[in-house]
Chain A
Amino acid sequence: MLVSYNWIKEYVDLTNISPDELAEKFTLGGLEVDGMERLGQELSGLVVGEVLTCEKLEGSDHLNKTTVSVGEEILPIVCGAPNVAAGQKVVVAKVGAILPGDFEIKEAKIMGETSHGMITSLDELGFSDSIIPKYAEDGIFILADGAEVGVDARPYLGLDDTIIEFDLTPNRADALSMRGVAYEAGAVLDQTPTFEEITVIEDDSDSVEDYMSISVEDPEDTPVYKMRLVKDVTIGESPIWMQHKLMHAGIRPIDLIVDITNYVMLEFGQPLHAFDYEKLDSNEIYVRRANQDEVLTTLDGQDRKLSPENLVITNGEKAVALAGVMGGANSQVTEKTNTIAIESAIFKPVLIRRTASQLNLRSEASSRYEKGVNYATAQSAVDLAAKLMAELGGGTIVKGTAEAVAKEAEDTVVETTIDRVNGVIGTDLNADDISEILSRLAFEHTITEGTITANIPPRRWDIEIPEDLIEEIARIYGYNNIPVTLPVTESTPGELTAAQKATRRVRELLEGSGLQEAISYSLTSPEKATRYSISEGDMVRLQNPQSEDRVALTQNLVGGLIDNANYNRAHQVTDIALYEVSHVFYKVSEEQFDEYTHVAGLLTGESGKSWLGEWEALDFYTIKGLVEVLLADYSFAEDLTFKLATDRLGMHPGRTADIYLGETLVGYVGQLHPTDTKENDLGDTFVFELSLDQLVEADKEAITYTALNRYPGSSRDIAILVDETVTHQALEKVIQENGGDYLQNIHLFDLYDGENIEAGKKSIAYSLYFANPNATLKEEEVNAGFDAVKQALIDRFNVEVR
């Protein structure tokens, strides 16, 4: 909403209040000012001139040679405008004048003629194309005859004003009108706004009943419909003061009738529509829902196919307007129109909202209807419009208003108590304080024995419940005058849940290992959403995606990390180490969606060469090490196992392990499939993903302290030759099971399958540490354990002990 400072000044006294001060008061009072435009401030050297002579410039097909009086002097000016003529009052930019864009006017020689300045158009004066009236689009702007030659031209252009731009919250639609803004100004400035009384001079010889009757299908849809008739109107341009007000509000002046309806809408917030009465071709207006597939040609020439979702104005038979949104072409006012029928109505906001968005026809009128309008001024608005048409268009007003009114304007009574007011705000206001504030808001009220009864006028339809009224009191009292305290409550322990602690711990561990945390998009393509998931399940898809590559909610975080790695590579970042903790999503049914917290990591690239000459290539065991660090953070009750996963989508079939906790799959770790790697323009890439939820929720063992062993233990090494297919995990398990009570630790210290090793075999070596916490271990005891291990390995895996 764009609001003219000068217009507000017509209603309240702004003698000592600058536009800035007013804006600040509005903002702190709840009408947020988003910007201020000081019109004409950057312009200078503009004066009113009178064209004395004007003749064609010889040798040019469009230039004119003029002399223009600017009071003290007469300037020769060459002007290219087609509409320039002697006798006109015009806006002259003298030599040295500054026009928008810091454009300075200089003396010029044009085809041998000296030009001492420029006669200007609205466009050159900085008016936006969207608001310049049609008649002023081509050529210079012509001022009224009465303009005083030689004086500053800016006031004649309305450029002595400041425009305040509001960013209104949806509840304050009352401020979509100048009168609403005036009431607000009155409240924040502690003044009573004054409005000129609207006196309608009617033609008593005629009665509206003879011309028009109104009926509505459903009073819920159309609680108020009023119509006045003005006969014998001459339709020309509207007066310049009205055009300025419209342009300042961002509305282009069109002609007298359109301008009046817009002007009244700006003043009252009540949208109006003007019909050509004769074209209605009926003495009746009937408002109803459109029929299915009913077609109406709207003012913009478009055929609109309607449905019962839309409300139409009809002449009893056919639609003549789309209620609250746009008029029909069949009843359009033109220059030939003689009798104007002015509609002032209130429609159900939802209907207008739906229709406007369905047909993509948002307008100043529809946006006001959507947010509600003031029931109290439907009559005043139609009165003012009729009055202006009579005064400015020479028409006569038919006596009376045709109407169908189902809902009268009435005050809303809101009751609360002084205690409640102070209880909510935290203040210590008494009855007098509150009464003073309510008076500033111009709300009639009584306060008796602590009970406040306020009559809220219809112009503030946003106030319905005590809390609304309390907010009014608080904002006029001043939010920044409210004492500042902290809640005094029973003290509560603020602590992280196990899952929250786990997330923080994961961050510490992974960041300590050199990974940077990423936050990727949850929405992705269906392909990526499922490709790297720990387990399969139904995908959650959007009904109304915004773009093709963000259609589904991801089931995995690895996919996002791959995207990130790809982005980094494209930006010459080659050494990539990322992790993420986020939600993944599964659809269970149309009413149930599961969300789990996962953690995933990705490593790719090379550490780069250092001056030290060393360089450690990444491999499966690097990322597995990370996973082991994460898993080692929990003392799970069940065993963790890694199993070769040969058919995980997107993963290397020989270098990927599923991770099980007991029988439950909790994640995977491995190398990205070479195809995926290539597709994403990456080198060897290693990833893992774990279900953090499952890790957190899994059964844990209590941590028990074991006294440190005071007796020396002893180590025995065993090197074996075994089939390549036998896993370390399997060997370790057999060693563990057969090593006896004193076997404390198994350490893999060598693995070799190179030269001198039979094909299909590998050499693997463990160091076994035996100790007895209660006595010095005897040689025989160690031997017994060690021999048992040896035998078991031979029995189970047919190993050769080296």
Chain B
Amino acid sequence: MKTLTYIEAISEALWEEMERDKNVFLLGEDIGKYGGAFKVTKGFHEHFGEERVIDTVLAENAIIGAATGAAMMGMRPIAEIQFADFVSNGFNQLVNNSAKIFWRCNIPVPMVVRLPSGGGIHGGPYHSINPEAWFFHIPGLKLVAPSTPYDAKGLLKSAIRDNNPILYFESKFLYRRIKGEVPTNDYTVEIGKADIKRNGNDISIITYGTGVHWSLEAAKILEEENIDVEVLDLRSLIPIDKEAIFSSVKKTGKILIVHEDTLTGGIGGEIAALISDNCFEFLDAPIKRIASPDTPIPFAPTLEDHFLPNTKKVLSALKSLAKY
């Protein structure tokens, strides 16, 4: 095992997969000589050359369109969207082409779109969004959102080797803030499998991405009050691990869903509906959600702090559930 930051784990996965499979290549804005806005691909250009690490024009529809075409031709492109907010420019390519081609033409589209997502870095309304819910509704795409270096590397490798178009939501807030153990040898994390990051019997938190860390901190604090919180990290949003969700619900009976994305239309609503449909008789309390309020994310740091979910908000929701 070795200790890596979240961003190093992503870089390593890309590097190793490019070494392993010559069909894997990267494309995106400033990812070549510059090494990417967040330096994920620093050194890649020198090592793999400009044909496999391609600097593109500032046009996400072109990036995703090119990636889709290459994937159809048997390549395994990995497109970097500099900030996930910009993926909206490539929305039509993703939704109408990448997602549908296999279903319409029986041609697989093995591509990965990397989406540095989320706030907490004072990026303002155009550089902070969590766009997973836009695509959660689109059949044909797979969505993953790792929360640890281990999952980041293992899921990215699985995504690159998968034959479907995959959106890879990486938390830029976590890039250099967390470190974790990662195996030295080659490994993958199965897409579609959630992970219990903490075992508990009283309340389940269902979360992903940054939410996992707030949840784990809050759960730790509640240990002192003898409230035993389980933290289920979804890791994959599509396909979603229903079995893991249901078994956690059946275990605790009290559910808190935590995500950084805004509340209305967020994927928490779908999770709540799934639970209600399948586990109604196992519920001992209303399903609660912690999410950002329904506004664009503010630029001012104090307002941003107020806007985003955090450990304190999770803690207070857990306490009220415990009391219920």
Chain A complexes with chain B = no
A residues sitting closer than 8 Å to B (CB atoms) are none
B residues sitting closer than 8 Å to A (CB atoms) are none
